[in-house]
Structure 1
Amino acid sequence: MSAAVHNVPDGPAGPPVEHSTLPDEDIDFLFRGLNSFSKLALAVSGGADSSSLLVLFGEWMKRTSWQGGAEVVCVDHGLRPESAAEADFVAAMAADHGLPAKVLRWEGEKPTSNIQEEARQARYLLIAGHMRQSGAQALVLAHHLDDQAETFLDRLTRGSGLSGLGAMACDETDGPQGLRLLRPLLSVPKTRLEASLRTRGLTWCSDPSNLDLKYKRSRLRAIMSLLAEEGLTADRLAQTAGHLRRAREALETTLRDLVKRHVTQHPAGPLTMSREVYRATAKDLRLRLLTGLAAGATGRRVRIRFRKLEALDLALLAEGDCRHTLAGALFDADRGAIRIWKEAGRTPPETLAVTASPGVWDNRYRYWHPSDPSLPALAGNLRVGPLCRAPVQARDISWPEGWPKEAFDCSPVVWTAEGAIVASSLTAHLRIGNSDGVNSLNLERIPFQGKLEADFVDGGDLQEEI
């Protein structure tokens, strides 16, 4: 057993304080939402929080005769000498509770700065890749009440708005790497999770970096007791985050309705909306809409500085035509309409070799082969890439009316390895040469959602951690 394994909380030295454990009926209530899933992955590092999740889930699974499948995933970052032993500890604990475990290792050169954030991103990337192979529908995390309070404080220091201060959700349907994240323990204090392990005589791994004040999270934990003395307890902070999340959800509903009624998406990529409708929309919704329009056009979720959003907003409110770029999207406005499309720039979307399996191109389109058995087998011989890189001349394209030609530079086109343009399900919307033949590949635009992305300044949902 690693020397990093202790039966004490990650806090100041001293005798453990007794706290009540979680009774079975409370656990059943917290885990009730998991019944709708048939396959889950549990993120476990070996610390007290995730070890409690593993133990409580294993007991719940047996007690309720849950019919689904579950697997423990543990990431060995290789950043500390104890990490391999801790991964072995997790695998052994999982086996003791009837769960298979998969250890994922972060290979390659490690960063020398911003280590915690880089490690967090690596965790999500590794776990997402494994879950795509295993077929797990969601990732269950051990975030608890104290984590929620710390997240709120962290985002408050970053100047976050509703998207960030709403903190973490119990069910995050579109988390990092597109993962669905479940947090059944979000209302439970850390002390009760530790008590649940102690009463069972179980140990856990203690990461010394949790007490290292060079990390912001550690400093926030250190001041929590002072805030609690003034009435600003973890529970009170989590309540405030909950109120703000509900306000955010109300805004999201309004934004989705605005998008549904007033934003039109061309099947080949670009978006458009009435400039008059944009001007009549409240400012906060306008700024969030701009972020969403940029994400919808480019397929990329990025955080955008407030000053850039406000500059574009002012230009769109003013009289006269204007053209601005924002986060890789080009906004082109005349008197009547605003048109938005992905800018090819110096690095246009990549060209992919199409395999027999369905896939996603440029985070904007799903593709799959038609099921018609009479069609020739072209898997492995087809390419999908942007129009600006396709083997075609501009004079051979029937350009859609009402749009600048450049609006379709990043539209998907299908061709063979020999350079012959072939028909796809988008041919009717962007006709190229003699590509009127039998459809060789189905392409479907991933719908633009009126979702509140990360806030205008540093902070927001992309900062959530495992």
Structure 2
Amino acid sequence: MQLTQAAAARFAAGLAALWPEDERSGPLGLAVSGGPDSIALLLLAHAALPGQIAVCSIDHGLREAAAGEVALVERIARERGIPFTALSVKVGPGNVQARARAARYAALAEWAQEAALGAVATAHHADDQAETVLMRLNRGSGLAGLAAVRARTQIEDSDISLLRPLLGWRKAELAALVSSAGIVPAQDPSNTDITFDRARLRQHMADADWLDPAALATSAAHLAEAWQALAWYAELDWHEMVMRCDNADGTASYAYCANVPRLIGIETIRAIIAALGGHASRAEASRAWDRLWAGHNASLGGVLGVPGVERVEKVGVQMRVWRFGAEPARGTIN
């Protein structure tokens, strides 16, 4: 059974909002696991973009059934004349779901580059988004975390655009599309394994009929817009209030006129640390901000921040100026 024209048009409109036609430089790659959500993504994209998609399915080597799921996706793609690629990844020890996610996205980025794809899409939907928001609220996440799954971003350590065109769709809608096509999707047992936080939350949400996943997903979209605005201001802060200094020994340091709200300053501190070759999480940068604001030195990511007050010529007034440079080696006496 063919998808309805209304469903295909809805998907095409949502995709165009994320990925305008004049920005497209190659086919759309689809990450398809064999579950109902990702098969629905395949069916919708095939209806909306015939001849302009490619499909990839990844075996993480964690379950015996995974090879069969990859084969299912291959059959569905081949029946529709869609280019298909099967990949295998190795998942390192530690947090299995986090490691699998990192390995998966690294493999997708490599595939996209080799296949000259214009972007990659995944099947995250409104119910996934609602779960993510609630999990992060429960963990005390800040604005960046509460913005949850972004509709458009980039795969980490690559320039590949990552799209989530199904964030406005409910899981039940997607399952119905797959069922109407006569396809029996795979079911990943980890989705109901309550040893995983997400599966446990999903179970509780099913019993809380007063929760509206679509409304939670909408709130996440609003938070993402707020985060985008904050990130824009932080970029402006970097360009306007951070000055690079070239030291006599050939190294660089930075002077930061810290005169913005704390959330923005945290992002600027992270940018300074990165410019000096280090790395700092938002939690680490927030602790550094608090120390510097209180008049204490802050050390993080191999960088030392020293607070002070100086007259800033460009504005002609005394300002809080924090100077950042490579942290001296331990035992160094000034």
TM bin, normalised by shorter chain, reads 0.7 to 0.9
CA drift of 1:37 comes to 1.4
Residue type matched to 2:303 in 1? A
Match among 163, 174, 177 for residue 157 of structure 2: 177
Match of 2:217 in 1: 238
CA drift of 1:193 comes to 0.7
Counterpart contact for 1:141–1:183, Cα < 8 Å: yes
CA drift of 1:236 comes to 1.7
Match among 223, 227, 234 for residue 255 of structure 1: 234
Match of 1:201 in 2: 182
Asked which structure has the greater CA Rg, the reply is 1
Tell whether 2:96 aligns with 1:115.
yes
Query: Residue 177 of structure 1: SS of its match in structure 2?
Result: coil
Match of 1:37 in 2: 24
Q: Distance in 2 between matches of 1:21 and 1:196?
A: 12
Q: Distance in 2 between matches of 1:187 and 1:287?
A: 31
Counterpart contact for 1:44–1:51, Cα < 8 Å: yes
Residue type matched to 2:37 in 1? D
Counterpart contact for 1:227–1:233, Cα < 8 Å: no
Match among 57, 67, 75 for residue 45 of structure 2: 57
Q: Distance in 2 between matches of 1:80 and 1:140?
A: 24
Q: 1:345 to 1:93 in 2, by over 3 A?
A: farther
Deviations 1:302-323 (A, max 9, x none): 5343xx445432443355xx65
CA drift of 1:209 comes to 1.1
Deviations 1:376-434 (A, max 9, x none): xxxxxxxxxxxxxxxxxxxxxxxxxxxxxxxxxxxxxxxxxxxxxxxxxxxxxxxxxxx
Q: After the TM superposition, which residues 91-102 of structure 1 pair with which residues of structure 2 at under 5 Å, given as runs?
A: 91-102=74-85
Query: Residue 338 of structure 1: SS of its match in structure 2?
Result: strand
Q: Distance in 2 between matches of 1:46 and 1:269?
A: 52
Q: Distance in 2 between matches of 1:73 and 1:167?
A: 24
Q: Which runs of at least 4 in structure 1 moved beyond 6 Å after TM superposition?
A: 266-269
Residue type matched to 1:328 in 2? G
Q: Distance in 2 between matches of 1:50 and 1:334?
A: 54
Q: Distance in 2 between matches of 1:41 and 1:271?
A: 42
> For structure 2, which runs of at least 5 residues remain unmatched after alignment?
311-320
Match of 1:329 in 2: 303
Match of 2:263 in 1: 284
Residue type matched to 1:156 in 2? L
Deviations 1:190-233 (A, max 9, x none): 1111111111111211111111111111011111133332xx21
Residue type matched to 2:228 in 1? E
Q: Distance in 2 between matches of 1:70 and 1:329?
A: 45
Counterpart contact for 1:42–1:139, Cα < 8 Å: yes
Match of 1:303 in 2: 281
Q: Distance in 1 between matches of 2:78 and 2:305?
A: 54
Query: Residue 31 of structure 1: SS of its match in structure 2?
Result: helix
**More helix per residue: 1 or 2?**
2
Query: Residue 205 of structure 1: SS of its match in structure 2?
Result: coil
Residue type matched to 2:293 in 1? L
Match of 1:368 in 2: none
Deviations 1:69-99 (A, max 9, x none): 4321111111111111111111121112221
CA drift of 1:324 comes to 3.2
CA drift of 1:269 comes to 7.5
Deviations 1:130-161 (A, max 9, x none): 22322323211111110110110111121101
Q: Distance in 1 between matches of 2:81 and 2:243?
A: 51
Deviations 1:271-321 (A, max 9, x none): 5234xx31x322232233223322343264x5343xx445432443355xx
Q: After the TM superposition, which residues 2-401 of structure 1 pair with which residues of structure 2 at under 5 Å, given as runs?
A: 23-33=7-17, 34=19, 35=21, 36-39=23-26, 40-62=28-50, 69-107=52-90, 110-111=92-93, 113-172=94-153, 174-178=154-158, 179-229=160-210, 232-265=211-244, 270=252, 272-274=254-256, 277-278=257-258, 280-298=259-277, 300=279, 302-305=280-283, 308-318=284-294, 323-333=297-307, 335-336=309-310, 337-341=321-325
Query: Residue 157 of structure 2: SS of its match in structure 1?
Result: helix
Q: Distance in 2 between matches of 1:194 and 1:49?
A: 7
Q: Distance in 2 between matches of 1:150 and 1:41?
A: 25
Match of 2:317 in 1: none
**How many residue pairs get matched?**
309
- Sequence identity percentage: 31
Q: 1:99 to 1:253 in 2, by over 3 A?
A: same
Deviations 1:7-36 (A, max 9, x none): xxxxxxxxxxxxx99633322322324433
Q: Distance in 2 between matches of 1:342 and 1:128?
A: 33
Counterpart contact for 2:133–2:146, Cα < 8 Å: yes
Query: Residue 232 of structure 2: SS of its match in structure 1?
Result: helix
Counterpart contact for 2:242–2:254, Cα < 8 Å: yes
Q: Which region of structure 1 is more displaced relative to structure 2, 336-345 or 154-163?
A: 336-345
